[in-house]
Amino acid sequence: MLGWALGNLPGSNPQIRRYCVLGAVLPDVDGIGFFFSPTAYDQYHHTFGHNLVAAGLFMLFMAWRCRSWTALAFGALAFGSHLATDAGLSGWPVYLFYPFSGRAFFLSHSVGLSHPINIHLIYVGYVVVIALVVVCRRTPLELISPKLDRLVVSPLRAHPNACHVCGRGSNLGCTVCGRPMCLRHTRLRVSLDTVCEECTRERA
């Protein structure tokens, strides 16, 4: 949720938002030891994924993939948000200079995962995600299906056109003939393409 929230800051785009979510969870790749043994998990968690070298590599990768220096800053925020929250809210040390140093870092007054503040922050995260739906007119569904996201938030977006069937406000269009249509007169294909009733009958 934090990566999604940061990805919605001004200056972002759909590609940047996807990488922000990735960057916010990517440090936990070093938790893979969990699938082998408790010892491996304890030994490697917060090491090769939670450090400044990994952060720098991700930032450069994100800037290259997005062809934007702005993406570099977003990458720093997303990856850094994970390091900062883990250092203060997980109860685990963060080895920022791994593999060059084994020095562990904590934020002052660090608390464990079971602390009530973490539960409260989860609920705050839900509120932020909902607020972004209202303010930015997008949901996390954009990450997996931009078409579905567009349909979900369609009622909240401006309706500059008139439906060619009933004249109601519309922000959708038939992918076959291009005519505007409202949600009431929209037919969905399995591909989530929007088609008007006339084109649906013709193709049938």
My answer on whether 63 and 91 are in the same domain is: yes
pLDDT of residue 204: 56
User: What's the CA gap between 42 and 34, in Å, rounded?
Assistant: 8
My answer on whether 44 and 143 are in the same domain is: yes
User: What's the CA gap between 141 and 134, in Å, rounded?
Assistant: 14
Burial (0-12, 13-18, 19+ Cβ within 10 Å), 58: buried
Task: Give the model's confidence band at 7: pLDDT under 50 very low, under 70 low, under 90 confident, else very high.
Answer: very high
pLDDT of residue 169: 93
Mean of pLDDT values over 32-51: 88
- Residue 29 belongs to what domain range? 2-150
* Tally of structural domains, the chain: 2
My answer on whether 81 and 137 are in the same domain is: yes
My answer on whether 145 and 173 are in the same domain is: no
Of 153, 151, 157, 152, give the one whose Cα is nearest residue 169: 157
> Hey, which residues does 186 pair with through a beta bridge?
196
Mean of pLDDT values over 44-60: 93
My answer on whether 114 and 165 are in the same domain is: no
Task: Give the model's confidence band at 91: pLDDT under 50 very low, under 70 low, under 90 confident, else very high.
Answer: confident
My answer on whether 105 and 42 are in the same domain is: yes
My answer on whether 53 and 107 are in the same domain is: yes
Q: Are 24 and 82 spatial neighbours (Cβ–Cβ below 8 Å)?
A: yes
CA 28 vs CA 53, 56, 140, 172: distances in Å: 14, 16, 20, 40
My answer on whether 49 and 110 are in the same domain is: yes
Mean of pLDDT values over 127-146: 95
My answer on whether 78 and 146 are in the same domain is: yes
Mean of pLDDT values over 57-83: 96
My answer on whether 116 and 189 are in the same domain is: no
My answer on whether 144 and 171 are in the same domain is: no
My answer on whether 193 and 118 are in the same domain is: no
Mean of pLDDT values over 69-77: 96
| pLDDT, the chain, mean | 92
Of 54, 56, 51, give the one whose Cα is nearest residue 72: 56
